[in-house]
Structure 1
């Protein structure tokens, strides 16, 4: 199998390499191509990738290139993990919304819209070039905001599936708390990307015993602490929200908190500087411990499992994994062409979502609200225009007031003009 990684110079990449090395029985990788225009980063990451594979006795070759068409030629799958504007743009996304009393975050709220506007046109251009060079390749999108980017890809007819690590991270955490193998736990994980809840935690598969109530009873304090939400809220809900729900359930608290400390982008930029220094050490032959603080826990396991299932032989038994794909009736209160993050059968023909259980309006209302925002955000990303940006911000549940939407629109355009030709 040949896999190409667009954005292969990312500091995330050694996590992915480590996964392919450890899970070689799941995915028989023969060639990995890292594609990135940043030549210096690419050389450092590529060198460490070769050393990791060699140290674990993996026979795959690692190729680096700055030319997309060369990198994706003959690839069975293309994984896209990029950040338009880098950490500098992220730092701005996390800062200027705070000036308006709104959340400053890279994938949610006004900052998330800015990222979508910068990112969607770039990813669509990459995907079209991949299609021309290699029309049979699957595109696995790990680029945020995953839901909006994946919807753009699917609307253009690309063979694409979106991937996030939230579900697999929670699955591993719950398995550790319950002292069972992760493979024994199935999550009733439903919602939109970065707007999901665990409505059930089942032993043995989709029809298994739901141990979520006992999980909350016995380990609720630990889970609440990790989510940075109060235990009484977790107990009242009776479900486990993803940590992104804190931005909705405790918005004002988070905004006040973010105004008193350095941005996450500043922390990550310093981390990346240290990681790249480490990657340049020829004695380093494994992913460094510091990488775990960078984010993306269990990203490699999710990516390996998804690629292996998508590239399995026709007729081979499907696996169930949480992905981002078209709704198609899974959540009946949303349009079929909305992109949802749900468990799905994954096989050679793509993703077939498992229908969701009946859900409380407490959750369906917010999902529908954010889906409406994502409709408008994608329209703004594809067609541009100040009024479309304003409409998307006005529709977002974390904004919603016209004065804030106007002020945020002005700031978004001022900070992103160089990335938005129409602006």
Structure 2
């Protein structure tokens, strides 16, 4: 089995490598190719990756290359973890929206739109080259904004599934609070990527007992603290929103907070420099503890599980993924990409039925889906007016003056990445 990771020079890759090594019985990789244009980073990451495999007794071959076509040739699955523009572009995404009084964040709001505009054309080009190399290869997208990028891939006819680590993070945290094995926790997870709610926490499977009321009653303070939301808000909702709902429910508070401290991008950039220095140590043969602060917890387990199921192996029968709606949420178009529990196998992902979604959540899902329609159109066809309309439609922007100012800033800061600008 051959897997390729595009963006393999990421400082996060050793987390993925560690998962491949530990879970080799679930996903028996014989060849793993790390593809990245940044040769120096790739050498450091690739060296550590080989040492991790050796330490854990994995006999798979690890290859590093900057040649995309060679790297994906014959791959059974290709994992995408790109950051077009690097941390410098992320720093911009997180700062210039604040000038207009809007949230600066890399996956939602104006910053998220900027990332989508930079990313979608690049991902579609990669996907076409994957299809030429092996039309049967699966593409697993972990590149943000996952919902928009996955929708672009599916609309272009690619065999693609989007993946996020929010759900597996909740599963692990809830399992610890309930003192059960993670495999016992099944989430009724519903919404869009980075706009989801856990509406039930079931023990044993999709039909199991819902213990969410007990979880909130006994551990509500811990849950709310982890979300950085008021306990009263979580109790009144009666569900567990993802951390990203904080940008919607506490928008002005978050804007003030972001204006008072260094950006997350600056923190990550400093962390990456430290990690790369560690990766260059020939004695290091395991992922360093610092990597846990980098973000993306449990991504390796989720990626292994998904790849194993898509490739006909021993992955879990139900997984939270991003895929076509196809009537699951009846108030959305069939070709909207939603993030829900799905049955996953060699033919792809089929969403499980979802109970009627409360209007409190359905309204926001419909609103952001409309924005994503416009964002994808802007990413595919370009043009200032399309960017403006996408920003005007976003609930974190939504005002003419803000949308005008943000449009000018977005284009100015991203001109080198926008072919039409």
Would the TM-score normalized by the shorter structure come out above 0.5?
A: yes
Distance (whole Å) between structure 1 residues aligned to residue 348 and residue 394 of structure 2: 31
- Residue 330 of structure 1 corresponds to 328
Matches within 5 A, 1:337-416: 337-416=335-414
Unpaired runs of 5+ in structure 2?
none
8 Å contact from structure 2 (residues 26, 315) kept in 1:
no
Question: In structure 2, how many angstroms separate the alpha carbons of the residues matched to 1:334 and 1:198?
Answer: 19
What corresponds to 1:287 in structure 2?
287
- Deviation per residue, 1:320-358 (Å, 9 max, x gap): 000000000111111100000000000000001001111
The separation in 1 between residues aligned to 2:33 and 2:25, in whole angstroms, is: 20
Residues 318 and 347, structure 1, Cα contact 8 Å, conserved in 2:
no
User: 3-state SS of the aligned residue for 1:321?
Assistant: strand
Determine the structure 1 residue equivalent to 2:185: 185
Normalising by structure 1, we get a TM-score of 0.99
SS across alignment from 1:226: helix
CA distance in 2, matches of 1:24, 1:78: 17
| Superposition RMSD in Å | 0.9
Q: Using a 3 Å threshold, how does the CA distance of structure 1 residues 223 and 117 change in structure 2: closer, same or farther?
A: same
Separation in structure 2 between the aligned mates of residue 25 and residue 135 of structure 1, nearest angstrom: 26
SS of residue matched to 1:202: strand
Name the SS of the counterpart of 2:334 in structure 1. Answer: coil
**Could you tell me how far 1:359 is from its partner in structure 2?**
1.4
**C-alpha distance after superposition, 1:245-284 (max 9, x if no partner):** 0000000000000000000000000000000000000000
Q: Matched residues in 2 for 1:134 and 1:124: separation?
A: 15
Distance 2:413 2:59 in 1: 45
Listed as ranges, the gaps of 5+ residues in structure 1 are none
Structure 2 distance, partners of 1:203, 1:318, is 15
Tell me if structure 1 keeps the 8 A contact 2:32–2:60: yes
- Compare 385-394 and 22-31 and name the one that shifted more: 22-31
Instruction: Count residues with an aligned counterpart.
Output: 421
Q: Is residue 2:19 matched to residue 1:19?
A: yes
Q: Distance in 2 between matches of 1:266 and 1:323?
A: 30
Structure 1 residue 25: Cα displacement: 1.2
Instruction: Give the drift of 1:317.
Output: 9.0
| CA distance in 2 between partners of 1:65 and 1:318 (Å) | 31
- 2:12 matches 1:2: no
Query: Is contact 1:33-1:64 (8 Å) kept?
Result: yes
- Say if 2:32 and 2:63, in contact at 8 Å, map to a contact too: yes
In structure 1, the residue matched to 2:123 is 123
Provide the rounded CA distance (Å) in 1 between the counterparts of 2:277 and 2:329: 46
Counterpart of 2:86 in structure 1 is 86
1:291 is displaced (CA, Å) by 0.4
